[in-house]
């Protein structure tokens, strides 16, 4: 399932602290890049009078971007990287792919290597359907495990370059710079929706 913005209103903040609206009439595969990356998420939410419960996370694998959104409004976007197989949808443990679909956050916790970890509910029901279908079609070995423990996290200390250089280094998780995961972490909650697509 793809996340569409039709029409899409992006709020960009000016140095005066006021905002302007920019109207996009294409979906998220448009040519825009980082949105409001120079502004704190806290400031943006205050300015828009949004609560964290209004938000969801949308991830575009082809754009290497994570978006914090409210309905069709992009509040802020962040650069990200993925599993070492960044193209395919995750079908089994060890394939290095980042799963695609709609997920829910099941837990969040500090992580000793990657700053913070936002754990989502892969595998969910649709993940199991895709996994079984891939086995039936011979796309993966019949004894394959589906995997788990997939989430959104930071990078090892001093490794922000992996994000800047789009180095897909994880086993299937979404990875951000530590300052970015630290910022997002304050505004996520158990049950929050995460949508990931190509």
Among residues 43, 111, 131, 173, the one annotated as catalytic is 173
Q: Is 131 a catalytic residue?
A: no
DSSP secondary structure of the chain: -----SSEEEEEE-TTS-EEEEEE-S-TTSS---SSTTS-HHHHHHHHT--GGG-EEEEETTTTEEEEEETTEEEEEEE-B-BSB-SSPP-STTS-BPP-EEEEEEEEEEETTTEEEEEE--S-HHHHHHHHHHHHTTSS-TT-------EEE--STT-THHHHTT---BSS-EE--HHHHHHHHTT--TT-EEEEE-
Q: Is 43 a catalytic residue?
A: no
Please give the Cα distance from 44 to 42 (Å, whole number).
5
Among residues 19, 43, 111, 153, the one annotated as catalytic is 153
What is the three-state SS of 146-191?
Answer: CCCCCEEECCCCCCCHHHHCCCCCECCCEECCHHHHHHHHCCCCCC
Catalytic residues: 153, 173
């Amino acid at each position: 399932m793809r996340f569409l913005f039709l029409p899409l209103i992006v709020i960009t903040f000016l140095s005066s602290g006021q905002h302007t609206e920019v109207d996009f009439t294409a979906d998220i595969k448009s040519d825009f890049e980082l949105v409001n990356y120079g502004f704190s998420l806290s400031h943006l939410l205050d300015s828009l009078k949004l609560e964290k419960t209004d938000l969801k996370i949308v991830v575009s694998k082809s754009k290497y971007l994570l978006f914090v959104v409210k309905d069709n409004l992009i509040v802020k976007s962040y650069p990200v990287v993925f599993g070492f197989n960044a193209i395919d949808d995750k079908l089994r443990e060890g394939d290095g792919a980042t799963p695609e679909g709609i997920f829910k956050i099941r837990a969040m916790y500090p992580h000793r290597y990657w700053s913070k970890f936002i754990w989502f509910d892969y595998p969910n029901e649709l993940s199991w359907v895709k996994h079984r279908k891939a086995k039936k079609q011979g796309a993966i070995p019949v004894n394959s495990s589906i995997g788990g423990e997939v989430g959104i996290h930071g990078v090892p200390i001093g490794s922000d370059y992996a994000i800047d250089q789009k180095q897909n280094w994880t086993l299937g998780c979404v990875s951000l710079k530590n300052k970015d995961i630290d910022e997002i972490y304050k505004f996520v909650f158990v049950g929050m929706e995460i949508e990931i697509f190509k």
